[in-house]
């Protein structure tokens, strides 16, 4: 990138890349954000090919002057159950529960399995909404000193259609940003030995869709995302 250098941060949540103009003056809200990689949760149980592809992506940033550090994202293996599951369960029960009770044949056997889940009470639903608001505020604060966070989109490449498919693992790295209500995008960053694609997820601050898209385009076209 002409006239710019970058610093990438690595904490327990993603990659942070801040663009600065040569000479040390930080460029205000540069289209190239900081990137930080989550070493906890987001980077657990990675397929080796995925881990290698993400490291190569980071090496690409380093080659363009980026320094890698860590960023903490307030997510662990209990967060989804606290802030997301009760709300989703409540909403599905409210929208589809009456129809399922009246005409269960309208629903596939797989979807019907959902209704074995107990409907949350009002107190549980309201508690989850409070926890979700706090989670979103915590995530917003992360972006006070960085522009984007980068993680693997999915810890593994695509499983066979006939399974086994670990749905929770596939959704693990994307649902936190969905729940946070912030923009995120996946861009190709490599392939495994079978030619299956690997994605690099870039998430940005609330309402900064343009910044996320600029970062994704810069990675894909300028930083070598297409060739990894």
In a domain, 9, yes or no: yes
pLDDT of residue 3: 28
Averaged pLDDT, 160-168: 84
In a domain, 85, yes or no: no
The pLDDT-based confidence of 28 (bands split at 50, 70, 90) is very low
Cα distances (angstroms) measured from residue 60 to each of 103, 182, 207, 222, 227: 55, 25, 27, 10, 11
Please identify which residue in the block is written with the tokens 């009002």: 122
pLDDT of residue 25: 33
In a domain, 113, yes or no: no
- For 189, the domain range is 4-76+140-227
pLDDT in tens, 33-89: 444 444 468 888 899 999 999 988 878 767 766 566 678 888 888 888 899 899 999
Across all residues in the chain, what is the average pLDDT? 80
Distance in angstroms (rounded) separating the CA atoms of residues 173 and 10 = 16
Is 66 or 118 the better-scoring residue by pLDDT? Answer: 118
In a domain, 62, yes or no: yes
pLDDT of residue 68: 66
Q: Among residues of the chain, what percentage have pLDDT more than 70?
A: 76
Least confident of 3-17, 73-87, 201-215: 3-17
In a domain, 83, yes or no: no
pLDDT of residue 32: 40
Burial of residue 53 (CB within 10 Å: 0-12, 13-18, 19+) is buried
**pLDDT for 202 beyond 80:** yes
The pLDDT-based confidence of 94 (bands split at 50, 70, 90) is very high
In a domain, 88, yes or no: no
Q: How many domains does the chain contain in total?
A: 1
Residue 198 in contact with residue 157, Cβ under 8 Å?
yes
In a domain, 34, yes or no: yes
**pLDDT for 109 beyond 50:** yes
pLDDT of residue 136: 96
Q: What is the CATH number of the domain that holds 57?
A: 3.90.1300.10
Residue 153 in contact with residue 47, Cβ under 8 Å?
no
In a domain, 111, yes or no: no
CA 19: distance to chain centroid? 21
pLDDT of residue 185: 96
């Amino acid at each position: 990138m002409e006239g710019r250098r970058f610093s990438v941060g690595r904490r327990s949540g993603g990659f942070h890349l801040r663009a600065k103009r040569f000479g040390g003056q930080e460029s205000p809200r540069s289209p190239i954000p900081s990137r930080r990689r989550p070493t906890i949760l987001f980077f657990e149980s990675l397929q080796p090919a995925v881990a290698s592809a993400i490291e190569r992506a980071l090496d690409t940033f380093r080659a363009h002057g980026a320094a890698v550090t860590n960023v903490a994202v307030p997510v662990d293996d209990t967060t989804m159950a606290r802030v997301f599951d009760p709300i989703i369960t409540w909403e599905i029960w409210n929208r589809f529960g009456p129809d399922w009770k009246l005409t269960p044949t309208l629903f596939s056997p797989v979807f019907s399995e959902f209704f074995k889940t107990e409907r949350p009470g009002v107190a549980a639903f309201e508690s989850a909404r409070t926890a979700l608001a706090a989670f979103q505020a915590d995530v917003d604060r992360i972006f006070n000193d960085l522009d984007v966070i980068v993680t693997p989109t999915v810890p593994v490449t695509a499983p066979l259609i006939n399974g086994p498919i670990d749905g929770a693992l596939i959704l693990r790295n994307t649902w936190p940003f969905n729940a946070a209500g912030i923009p995120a995008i996946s861009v190709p960053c490599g392939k495994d030995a079978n030619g299956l694609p690997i994605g690099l997820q870039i998430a940005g601050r609330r309402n900064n869709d343009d910044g996320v898209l600029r970062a994704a385009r810069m990675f894909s076209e300028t930083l070598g995302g297409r060739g990894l």
